[in-house]
Copies of this chain bind each other. A is one copy, B any other.
């Protein structure tokens, strides 16, 4: 009554019993309980061990992650940055990454950046604040250094702070990466098209600001150069969506009705392109051939089935997560389709993921 210190009602502890409570109930020390329940190099007598475990179960003890993180100075969280999980390209990467994370007992924090540099920076900081063990950045960085540099620096900061970083797409020196062979695939697409006799070819690009697009475009043009019948490439740009592909294709068709083939740099856009072609009354591939990029699962079921460049998205996600988790000096056996190498730039690790042209029904000889 006299005491002012009226303790507030001890709100039922969030999340059950404490290790201390378990230890007390089991009649052992905190140290012993910790060793039994949360793993340790030190071993504990089998019987005692069993007893502690029983008490813990009875008390519904659940370890306190943040406290462990604090004491151990490490967490089991990793971050994954994607442009948009709802885009099949990224959801496949995420699925691959999460599969590996699962094996390694890691929890994955996923964040949509919507390709907004400010959001990206913010998320990296926040993941750093959570002491995520690693950050995996999926999705093409911007071509513009003014946009790319801040991101890169923030990643480097994080990395210097002891975190691991792996990107899918090249973020420059010192940052490990897995890189899809965009140029190779695009080149193969060009060769395929010129081989079929096409000379007037439309390129439907995604946002030019992204290196992925720049690489695919450059690779395709390189393939064009390799042909001897002097093909023309006419490029238009569109948003990285179905509607972006639709709009860009309509524009291209209006301005250059002479094109007999289309190279669309992402399958999401190719879906729109196919619709645009249909709406414009152009038959595929009789009037015009169509090649996509990425090989989304839906491609094989479109009508006609889409010729496209396969990218092993899920595999890249897995590979990236594997690297993120591995000791920095990894020496894993490279995949058959992949090749691993020290980058000339710096001591970083770069894994190349092969791409492959998949010919289906949407391409045919020029008539």
Contact = CB atoms under 8 A, between A and B. Distances in A.
A297 interface: yes
Contact of A271 (B15, B67, B127, B301): B301
A84 B157 CA distance: 33
Given A92-B86, A98-B85, A128 B70 contact: no
Given A70-B70, A91-B85, A275-B301, A107 B111 contact: yes
A73 B66 CA distance: 9
A279 to B, nearest CB: 11
A94 interface: yes
Contacts of A162: 12, 14-15
A112 interface: yes
Given A66-B65, A95-B112, A112-B95, A107 B130 contact: yes
Query: How many copies of this kind of chain does the complex include?
Result: 2
A316 to B, nearest CB: 13
A42 B272 CA distance: 55
Contacts of A67: 66, 70
B110 A66 contact: no
Interface stretch (A43-51, A56-64, A138-146, A203-211): A56-64
Contacts of A102: 111-112, 119
Interface in A1-57: 12, 14-16
A108 interface: yes
